A and B are shown apart, each in its own frame.
Chain A
Amino acid sequence: MRSGPFLLICLVLGGAVYGAAALLDNDYIFFAGYVVLQYVVLSTAWNILGGYCGYVNFGSAAFFALGAYSTVAIHKFTTINETVAVPIPILVLMAGVVSGVVGYGMGYLTLRLRGAFFAIATLALAVVLETLVVNWDFVGGSRGAYILRPSEIAPFGNYVRYLFLIMVVLAAAAVTVARLIERSRLGYGFATIRDDELAAEALGVPTLQLKLIATTISGALMGMAGAPFPYYIGFLQPSSTFGLDYAVNSIAMPLIGGTTSWVGPVIGALLLGSLEQIATVTISSAINLLIVGCLLVGFVIVAPRGIIGLVQTYRRSKPEEFAARRPIDADAPEATP
């Protein structure tokens, strides 16, 4: 399927969820659904660098927060003189540019490192950015920042519904981008970086350039996921925006879903995100990370290649049933001819 129709299907699916929730007339569904969709974007973005290229980024929270704080900065700046507030879709795009640039910069500084060293460098980036924000008074510093959003917006009604729709579009776009990359020349290049950079260079793959593309796209998407967040939460605080939750979740979700295909992070985010939302309501909001941690440990032991990996292993064990089908991605096994 080409990307246009695919994007359309994603949007229709999201629209259907919106419609169903609107019929139930329960705003909590939008409230929780927003968070789940936000994780779809975050984990898909993480997977472009972490899954496709094999570079583990522990700094997802930093990019997410960068998006959120660029919204705060723009909001504060434009409302100083009582000017009109910038519409959220534009804020999302601007946040994408800011965090894309930072992603590029991070890549340029750290991509000579591999494995654990790269991961530590990204963690360091998060600490540096948090320190900057804490000491930047204009966006609230350590006190945090309030964003007063209107409670209603035409024609959606409750403002949360509007934010939910924005996240639907963003998630559909992120997944479409990831899928497009996977099936393109770029995706093959990313896979060679994951497998063997030296051999990739020897065959003409410009590895540094491709890795910079990956950090830029990945960073931009994470920032875009964070851009509407201040409007969602109302009160933005450095310690929670840069929190461990985002970093851990955006790694755990692709790993649980499977990292070799765009489907993996989506499944992981929908599953884990929903589970966390349910746990928040039924048990306690503090237990989320414990659930994520336990699930991650379980999956690393039982299914190191995630849910996608389990499905592939199952297919491999029954080749005749799937012999006629072409693999979805390069990693999918195919029957012996």
Chain B
Amino acid sequence: MNGVANNLLEIDNLGKRFGGFVALENISLSVPNGERLGLIGPNGSGKSTLVNCICGTLQNEAGTVRFDGATLDGFTAHQRTRKGLARSFQLPRPFASLSLLDNIRIPLLYTVEARGRRHSTSEVEERCDHCLREVGLQDKARHLPRDLTQVEMRKLELARAMAAEPKLLIADESMAGLTHSEVEDILALLVRLNEQGVTIILIEHIMRAVMSFSRRIVVLVSGRKIADGQPDDVMRDPEVERAYLGQ
């Protein structure tokens, strides 16, 4: 059981169905502390469903999810967030009526403070400003999300997830539709976070980004895990090639 102690996230035989459709089947996955994991798979392979099951947006029917030594089954999404899980959504979901600053304020008020750390008003402002600065949005702090471009929206999504001070960050396709240099920006941000000790799971279709970021890659196809290992090995795996390129 030596390995288990070091694993931040431990998924064991997880299964999820939607009616007769099996979205996930017998997924087992361990993510050690400090890992940079890439999760890839064709559209509809169950990546987002897996994220939803980990984060509590959906409840899995079979198997268990363990995080930081505790079983998460039955916990709601906000309880899991407070335990140190954070995610960004595939399509950005900002709070439309709140300014950027207040968007960042939410996880500080509801997650960081719920862990027992009280902030004074000025500390909260400082933290919000810091988070926005990390993604280069500090000049728009008082704007509403509708004034943002698509890239900025994705940056806000990440900044908001980071503000919750997670142990594990799941970035769900946070680079789709971005240009080359914008992808580099976000990758640099994720690497910086990882260096600060945050474990990161990156879900992405842009292979260049996944390959340069991940130290390990997991491939999902039709709700099953077909490969798990070093990026280069996984890419050479015939089953992965078949899934992506067809026979």
**How many residues of A are in contact with the other chain, CB < 8 A?**
27
Please tell me if the beta carbons of B93 and A204 are within 8 angstroms of each other in the complex: no
Please tell me if the beta carbons of A204 and B139 are within 8 angstroms of each other in the complex: no
Q: From the candidates B77, B94, B97, B114, name the one contacting A201 in the complex (CB within 8 A).
A: B77
Answer whether residue B155 sits at the interface, using C-beta atoms and an 8 A cutoff.
no
Please tell me if the beta carbons of B97 and A195 are within 8 angstroms of each other in the complex: yes
Answer whether residue A245 sits at the interface, using C-beta atoms and an 8 A cutoff.
no
Q: From the candidates A195, A204, A207, name the one contacting B82 in the complex (CB within 8 A).
A: A204
Please tell me if the beta carbons of A189 and B110 are within 8 angstroms of each other in the complex: yes
Please tell me if the beta carbons of B97 and A191 are within 8 angstroms of each other in the complex: yes
Answer whether residue A194 sits at the interface, using C-beta atoms and an 8 A cutoff.
yes
Answer whether residue A192 sits at the interface, using C-beta atoms and an 8 A cutoff.
yes
Q: Nearest Cβ in chain B — how far from A262, in angstroms?
A: 15
Please tell me if the beta carbons of A200 and B106 are within 8 angstroms of each other in the complex: yes
Answer whether residue B216 sits at the interface, using C-beta atoms and an 8 A cutoff.
no
Instruction: List the one stretch of A115-123, A217-225, A328-336 in contact with chain B.
Output: A328-336
Please tell me if the beta carbons of A330 and B106 are within 8 angstroms of each other in the complex: no
Please tell me if the beta carbons of A334 and B97 are within 8 angstroms of each other in the complex: no
Please tell me if the beta carbons of B78 and A188 are within 8 angstroms of each other in the complex: no
Q: Which of A129-184 touch B at CB < 8 Å?
A: none
Q: Nearest Cβ in chain A — how far from B23, in angstroms?
A: 18
Please tell me if the beta carbons of B81 and A203 are within 8 angstroms of each other in the complex: yes
Please tell me if the beta carbons of A203 and B97 are within 8 angstroms of each other in the complex: no
Q: From the candidates A185, A199, A201, name the one contacting B76 in the complex (CB within 8 A).
A: A201
Answer whether residue A202 sits at the interface, using C-beta atoms and an 8 A cutoff.
yes
15 A-B residue contacts at CB 8 Å? Answer: A188-B109, A189-B109, A191-B97, A191-B98, A192-B98, A195-B94, A196-B93, A199-B95, A202-B89, A203-B78, A204-B82, A204-B107, A204-B111, A205-B78, A337-B142
Q: Mark A313-331, 1 if CB is under 8 A from B, else 0.
A: 0000000000000010011
Answer whether residue A198 sits at the interface, using C-beta atoms and an 8 A cutoff.
yes
The closest CB in chain A to the CB of B97 belongs to A331
Q: How far is the CA of A337 from the CA of B138 in the complex (A)?
A: 11
Please tell me if the beta carbons of A202 and B95 are within 8 angstroms of each other in the complex: no
Answer whether residue A234 sits at the interface, using C-beta atoms and an 8 A cutoff.
no
Please tell me if the beta carbons of A192 and B95 are within 8 angstroms of each other in the complex: yes
Please tell me if the beta carbons of B144 and A201 are within 8 angstroms of each other in the complex: no
Q: From the candidates B57, B81, B102, B161, name the one contacting A330 in the complex (CB within 8 A).
A: B102
| Count of CB-CB pairs between chains A and B under 8 Å | 97
Q: Mark B180-212, 1 if CB is under 8 A from A, else 0.
A: 000000000000000000000000000000000
Q: From the candidates A191, A202, A205, A207, name the one contacting B55 in the complex (CB within 8 A).
A: A202
Quick one: given A191-B95, A195-B97, are A203 and B57 in contact (CB under 8 Å)? no
Q: How far is the CA of A203 from the CA of B77 in the complex (A)?
A: 8
Q: Nearest Cβ in chain A — how far from B67, in angstroms?
A: 15
Taking CB atoms, residues of chain A closer than 8 Å to B110 are: 185, 189, 203-206
Q: Which of B114-172 touch A at CB < 8 Å?
A: 114, 139, 142-144, 160-161, 164
11 further A-B contacts with Cβ under 8 Å, apart from A200-B106, A206-B79, are: A191-B98, A191-B102, A192-B106, A195-B94, A195-B95, A199-B94, A200-B95, A201-B56, A204-B78, A204-B81, A330-B97
Q: Mark B69-91, 1 if CB is under 8 A from A, else 0.
A: 00000001111011000110100
Taking CB atoms, residues of chain A closer than 8 Å to B81 are: 201-204
The closest CB in chain A to the CB of B102 belongs to A330
Q: Nearest Cβ in chain A — how far from B73, in angstroms?
A: 17
Answer whether residue A260 sits at the interface, using C-beta atoms and an 8 A cutoff.
yes
Taking CB atoms, residues of chain A closer than 8 Å to B107 are: 203-204
Q: Nearest Cβ in chain A — how far from B57, in angstroms?
A: 7
Q: From the candidates A194, A198, A203, A330, name the one contacting B160 in the complex (CB within 8 A).
A: A203
The closest CB in chain B to the CB of A193 belongs to B95
Q: Nearest Cβ in chain B — how far from A279, in angstroms?
A: 34
Taking CB atoms, residues of chain B closer than 8 Å to A185 are: 109-110, 113
Taking CB atoms, residues of chain B closer than 8 Å to A203 are: 78, 81, 86, 106-107, 110-111, 160-161, 164
Q: How far is the CA of A123 from the CA of B79 in the complex (A)?
A: 33
Quick one: given A192-B106, A205-B110, A207-B78, are A330 and B89 in contact (CB under 8 Å)? no
Please tell me if the beta carbons of A334 and B77 are within 8 angstroms of each other in the complex: no
Q: How far is the CA of A206 from the CA of B82 in the complex (A)?
A: 10
Taking CB atoms, residues of chain A closer than 8 Å to B98 are: 188, 191-192, 195, 330-331
Kindly name the residue among B79, B89, B97 whose own CB sees the greatest number of chain A CB atoms within 10 A.
Answer: B97
Taking CB atoms, residues of chain A closer than 8 Å to B95 are: 191-192, 195-196, 199-200
Please tell me if the beta carbons of A202 and B109 are within 8 angstroms of each other in the complex: no
Q: Nearest Cβ in chain A — how far from B76, in angstroms?
A: 7
Please tell me if the beta carbons of A199 and B109 are within 8 angstroms of each other in the complex: no
Taking CB atoms, residues of chain A closer than 8 Å to B113 are: 185
Please tell me if the beta carbons of A198 and B164 are within 8 angstroms of each other in the complex: no
Taking CB atoms, residues of chain A closer than 8 Å to B102 are: 188, 191, 330
Answer whether residue B105 sits at the interface, using C-beta atoms and an 8 A cutoff.
yes
Q: How far is the CA of A79 from the CA of B79 in the complex (A)?
A: 50
Q: Nearest Cβ in chain A — how far from B224, in angstroms?
A: 26
Q: Mark B30-42, 1 if CB is under 8 A from A, else 0.
A: 0000000000000
Quick one: given A201-B78, A203-B81, are A333 and B111 in contact (CB under 8 Å)? no
Taking CB atoms, residues of chain B closer than 8 Å to A337 are: 139, 142
The closest CB in chain B to the CB of A207 belongs to B78
Kindly name the residue among A199, A204, A337 whose own CB sees the greatest number of chain B CB atoms within 10 A.
Answer: A204
The closest CB in chain A to the CB of B79 belongs to A206
